[in-house]
Amino acid sequence: MLLKIVQAGEEVLRRQARALTWEEILSEETQQLIEYMRETMHDAPGVGLAAPQVGLPIQLAVIEDREEYHAQVDPARLAERERRPVPFHVLINPKIVFTDSTSVEFFEGCLSVNGFSAIVPRARAVKVEYLDEKAQAQIIEASGWYARILQHEIDHLKGTLYIDRMHARTFMNVENLTRLWKDIPIGEVRTKLGV
């Protein structure tokens, strides 16, 4: 079943989501929600989806960066972004416990700010503690694009959107991003846009 993805302006996207209990995580309802969120993320298509994006103020997100999404990206841009496939997994009650001091900037979009993109600075690497869909404690150490996805989805659980972190001068619709800036190195884009 596909869920409706809410758009910027909805209150749920700006609220701190609540943590799930062990019992809630293992409930049939939450397990079904995870599957629906996975289907919705694939249909969008996206690489991550947080529960607030489907109208639920709970600390749950799904992530998967499928190899097929990389086929349309210039290999030089994949390398620049340190982007590699990421298998499907579920984050519940996640906490970023380490952030690399190295900041990297790339265009970022969001299924809840549909049709737009902007350059967003993020930490190059992070360490995240979370519970999986079986309520088991897990730790991820991620770098590159995967670290960006994790930061983006965890921001959703805190009521933060990428537009709160973006370089405002780089905000544009996806059509213009694709037509004008898609294959240009990010440093050159920043220079041309006066960032």
Catalytic residue list: 153
The answer to whether 163 and 149 have CB atoms below 8 angstroms apart is no
Distance CA 18, CA 186 (A): 36
Instruction: Tell how many helices (H) and how many strands (E) occur in the chain.
Output: 6, 8
Distance CA 170, CA 105 (A): 11
